Amino acid sequence: MADQIPPPVPIDDEIDLLALAKTLWLGRRTVLKTILICGVIGLIVALASPKEFVATTIMVPSGSDGSSKLGGLGGLAAMAGINLNTTSSSDLSPTVYPQIVASLPYQLELMKTPLNFSDRKEPVTFYDYYSGPQKENLLLKYTIGLPGIILSLPGTILTAIRGKEQEKTGLSEQMKPIELTNKQRDVRLVLAGLIALSVNPKEGTLTLTSTMKEPKAAAQLCQRAQELLQQYITEFKIKKAKVNLDFIQQRFDETTKKFETAQEKLASFRDRNKSVTLATARTDEERLTSQYNLIYSIYSELAKQLEQAKIQVKQDTPVFTIIEPVSVPTKKSKPNRPMILFIWLFLGGVVGIGIVFGKGFIEPLKNKWIE
C-alpha cells in the first residue's frame, strides 16, 4: 500500500507539532525503507572496508648544548689554546620536521624500504608493492567505487584532464631537476597518506605514525621512517660544521706535507754543514729555519682549528631520545564497523524524514504548476 500524501503543513508563527508528528507517522514506511536501504549499504561498506594498522613512535630530539655535552672538555681545550665557542649554534626548528617528511628526496628514499606482506613470499620494497598490480576488493569497487570507474573510462572529462597533466610533465631538465614517472607520482601520493609526523612544541616531542594494511609492514615502515628522519635532521644540523671541517682538513693535509718537507730540508742542511762556519752557510740555515718556523706556526694553528672543528661537529650532532619505540600493532585502527553502520542508519533516517516532509511541500507546488 503506497504512502498517503498528507496535506501540507500550515506555515504559521507557531509550529504545529501534532501535524508534524502525524505527517511523520503517515510516512513511516518511507522512513523505514530508507533506513533499511542505507543500512544495507552501510553493512556492505563496513564489511568491505580494508583493515588498517597504525604503528607509532614518539621521540625527543635534543638540541646542541655545548656545556652539557662537552663538560670539562672546554677547560682542557682552553688550556691547549683551542677556543670552542659554544655560545651560539645553528639549530633547525622542529616546525620544519614535517616538511622534511613531505619532501621529495625523503619520500623517494623511503619508497626503497623492504616490507613483509602476507601475500608475498619474500620482502618487497614499498615502491614495487604499490606500483605493481593490487588485489582489488570487487565488492567495494563496484558499489562505492563505481562512480570512480565511470569517470576513469576513456573519453570522459577526467581522462582528458589526466592526459593534459601527463603532457605537462615533458619539461626541460633545467626547469625540473627531479622528474618523476607516473608510477612514482602515484606511489608518492599513497606514501604521503600513510606517513604522518606531528610536532608538540610545548613538550618538544615528535610523534611519527605509519598506516598499513598489515601490522608487521606498518612497524617496518615506521621504523625506517624514524631512522631516515633522524638521518636527515642530523645532516641538516651538522652541514655547516661538516663543511668547515672538510675545508680545514684539506688545508691541514696540505700544510702537513709542506711542514714535513721544510723539516727534512732543514735537517738535511744541518747534517751537511755541521763543521762549516761560513757566513753564507749560516745565512742559508737562517732562511731555512725561518721557513720552517713559519710553516710550523701555520701547521700548529690549523691543528688547533681541526680539533675545534671536530668537536663542533660532535656538538651539533643531535641526540634523539626514543620515548615510545616502534612496535608491531596488535589491534586494527580501522574500520570501526559498528560506527560505520550507525552513521549509515542515521543518514537513512535523516534522508527518509526529509523525503516525507518534502512531499508535503512539493506536491502543492506541482498542482499549482499544472493549474
Looking at the predicted structure, is the pLDDT value of residue 155 above 60?
Answer: no
Element (H, E) at 343: helix 337-370
For the record, the C-alpha cell of 183 comes out as 608510477
Residue 59 CA to residue 230 CA, distance in Å, equals 10
> Which tops the pLDDT comparison, 109 or 354?
109
Sign of CA dihedral 173, 179, 181, 185: negative
Say yes or no to pLDDT of 145 above 60: no
- The range of the structural domain enclosing residue 154 comes to 48-238+318-340
Q: Is the pLDDT at 247 greater than 70, yes or no? A: yes
Task: Answer yes or no: is 196 within a domain.
Answer: yes
Q: Is residue 256 part of a domain?
A: no
Whether 12 has a pLDDT exceeding 60, the answer reads no
pLDDT at 232 over 60: yes
* Residues, the chain: 371
| pLDDT score of 364 more than 70 | no
- Residue 369: pLDDT band (50, 70, 90) is low
Phi, psi of 52 (to 5 degrees): -135, 135
pLDDT confidence of residue 75: 47
What is the grid cell recorded at 268? 738535511
Is 214 a residue whose pLDDT tops 80? yes
Whether the pLDDT of residue 39 is over 90: the answer is: no
pLDDT at 157 over 50: no
Q: In this structure, what DSSP letter does residue 114 have?
A: E
Q: Is residue 201 part of a domain?
A: yes
- Looking at residues 335-364, what average pLDDT do you find? 78
Q: Does residue 118 form part of some domain?
A: yes
Please state the separation of Cα 53 from the chain's center in Å: 18
Position 131 scores a pLDDT of 84
Closest to 226 measured CA to CA, from 106, 357, 347: 106
Distance CA 17, CA 21 (A): 6
Range scoring the smallest mean pLDDT among 225-229, 243-247, 320-324: 320-324
**49, pLDDT greater than 80:** no
Q: Is residue 264 part of a domain?
A: no
Q: Is residue 262 part of a domain?
A: no
Question: Which of 50-59, 266-275, 293-302, 329-338 tops mean pLDDT?
Answer: 293-302
Q: Write the burial class of residue 296 (CB in 10 Å: 0-12 exposed, 13-18 middle, 19+ buried).
A: middle
Give residue 332's pLDDT: 74
Is pTM beyond 0.85? Reply is no
pLDDT value at residue 150: 52
Structural domains counted in the chain = 1
Residue 8 confidence (pLDDT): 52
- Whether the CA torsion 160, 111, 323, 203 is positive or negative: it is negative
Q: Return the pLDDT at 15.
A: 57
d(CA 198, CA 57): 11
Nearest to 233 by CA among 115, 93, 112: 93
**Domain assignment present for 89:** yes
pLDDT band for 283, please (50, 70, 90 cuts): confident
Give me the phi and psi of 53, to 5 degrees please. Answer: -120, 140
What is the per-residue pLDDT for 57?
92
- Number of Cβ atoms within 10 Å of the Cβ of 302: 20
pLDDT of residue 226: 93
Q: Phi first, then psi: what are they for 94, rounded to 5°?
A: -60, -20
Choose the weakest-confidence range: 18-22, 134-138, 300-304: 134-138
Is position 72 within any domain? yes
Q: Which residues pair with 196 in a beta bridge?
A: 209
| Burial class (CB within 10 angstroms; exposed 0-12, middle 13-18, buried 19+) of 315 | buried
Region 12-30 average pLDDT:
71
| CA 128 – CA 176 distance, rounded (Å) | 24
In this predicted structure, the answer to whether residue 64 has a pLDDT above a threshold of 50 is no
Q: How confident is the model at residue 174, as a pLDDT?
A: 45
With 70 as the cut, is the pLDDT of residue 1 above it?
no
